[in-house]
Structure 1
Amino acid sequence: MKHIFYRLLSIGLLSIFAVSCSDESVAPAEVRDNPLAMGNPSGAVADPAFYTNYLMEKPQYALSYHRDRGTPNWVSWHLSSAWLGDASRQDNFSPDNALPAGWFRATSASYTGSGFDRGHNCPSADRTGTEADNSATFLMTNIIPQAPNNNQRTWADLENYCRTLVEEGNELYITCGSYGRGGTGSTGAETTIADGKITVPSRIWKVIVVLPAGSDDVSRVTTDTRVIAINTPNNSSLNAEWSAYRTSVDAIEKATGYDLLSVVPASVQSALEARIDNGPVR
């Protein structure tokens, strides 16, 4: 009788353990996904011959760099809880030594006295998993001349909202870019800085695909998926509310010539890109 009792007890404990393991396996894995999972917007190529559309892929993000503008055309990254942690802001703005030999390499000093912030495309606060992740956001190939109020107010609020969406159980695919020539910073209007080596953009845009945390992300994009697109002027007199600049992906594509969300099935892509988001902003 005693042997039967212990056998039943063992079976019970094993059953509880199995159920516990099964429950844990159901939870979506926190992973760091490919930043170009939704596509390469400009068809950038990792060949210096493509100096206006040069592809650079880093563990933390991917970008298209424009040698003659001294800034990225766009930067794409994935944002999930797997990228967020306790690493502090490194503030170590650095030239990017991965640029081809002979190309101008911006430094922090390139922006000194310009009236423009060293504006991140992929934000520092989106890469706090490790100090190395955070440092990568301070490479100057991730930076553009950004009007202070645009960077510190309107743009910062949108970046904070993106992290709120992650806290609510989502993962995001984000592409941020700029185009045009001429913005207005704290010391007035400029078309270039750093003795003409860095072009000041006139517009700054962002496209955000919002998905519940999960796997096989592209296959889960449907006509109901939330896509937020904004396009702001690069000046300090803009509206503090980022929602005032919501637009369609189609409009950004028309302005830039890019093909965003290019790997999403055409019928889904068409519906999503024509729509202007009207979802919550806090």
Structure 2
Amino acid sequence: MSWHVSPDWLGNAPRQDDFRADNTLPAGWYRVTPTAYSGSGFDRGHNVPSADRTRSAADNSATFLMTNMIPQAPNNNQETWANLEEYTRDLVQAGNEVYVIMGNYGVGGTGSNGPKQTLTAGRVTVPAQIWNVLVVLPEGPNDLNRITSSTRVIAVNTPNSQTVRADWGSYRTSIDAIERATGYDLLNSLSQPLQVALEAPVDKGLTQ
């Protein structure tokens, strides 16, 4: 999943907390309900964070569809991931815009009630790893054309576990490593030389 975080998306709309099934799914598809994770030991972890969409109540409400959720270990969701999401918005408040790409892979995580591989009788997979890529640009037009070999790119890959550390910076990795683990081809709208320059390094910048 990918999304854009900029001042245009941030406002004063309150958190809606209206978790609900996604009724736009095709007929016959399983629709995860708001109570599907109850008692599992896993949080309803947002992909697109609620706080990244505060321009309007409708924007915020859209983040509470269950198709925007994954079973996330509480410590990962409430500490590690929350810190990374807050840092993303701090970058925006400092005059940047951020493109976020987020995903997960593997089967089996460890929540507050111990390890699980699936929920809801096997219909929802508990991921083993949760990753995030941030492309950071100063605010401006023509974003794609402004990405250079010196653009800051942050890649993070965390275990979906209660033993995860709160310091997301300690889980920094390269985009190349995430691509090897997932089979995805990220940043593929960029030229091949630019992809090579941005996807191999591990970010060493500030984390707060």
TM category, shorter: over 0.9
Dislocated runs of 4+, deviation >4 Å: none
Residue 273 of structure 1: aligned partner: 199
Question: How far apart, CA to CA, are the structure 1 residues paired with 2:3 and 2:164?
Answer: 26
Q: Which residue of 2 aligns with 1:141?
A: 67
Cα deviation, 1:152-209, whole Å, max 9, x if unaligned, reads 0000000000000000000010011011000000000000011211000000000000
Q: Which amino acid aligns with 2:75?
A: N
Question: Aligned partners of 2:103, 2:71: CA distance in 1, in Å?
Answer: 12
TM-score (norm: length of structure 1): 0.73
Q: How many residues are paired up?
A: 208
Q: Which residue of 2 aligns with 1:172?
A: 98
**Match of residue 246, structure 1, among 172, 176, 186:** 172
Identity %: 62
Counterpart for residue 114 of structure 1: 40
Task: Please say if 1:235 is aligned against 2:161.
Answer: yes
Shift of 1:261: 0.5
| Separation of aligned partners in 1, 2:60 and 2:193 | 37
Q: Which has the larger radius of gyration?
A: 1
> How does the TM-score come out when normalised to structure 2?
0.99
Q: Which amino acid aligns with 2:122?
A: G
Q: Does 1:202 align with 2:161?
A: no
1:151 aligned onto 2:90: no
CA distance in 2, matches of 1:253, 1:245: 16
Pairwise CA distance, 1:115: 0.4
1:227 maps to a residue whose letter is: V
RMSD: 0.5
Amino acid paired to 2:143: D
SS of 1:178's equivalent in the other structure is strand
Q: 1:217 aligns with which of 143, 159, 163?
A: 143
Unaligned runs of 5+ in 1: 1-74
How far is 1:265 from its partner?
1.3
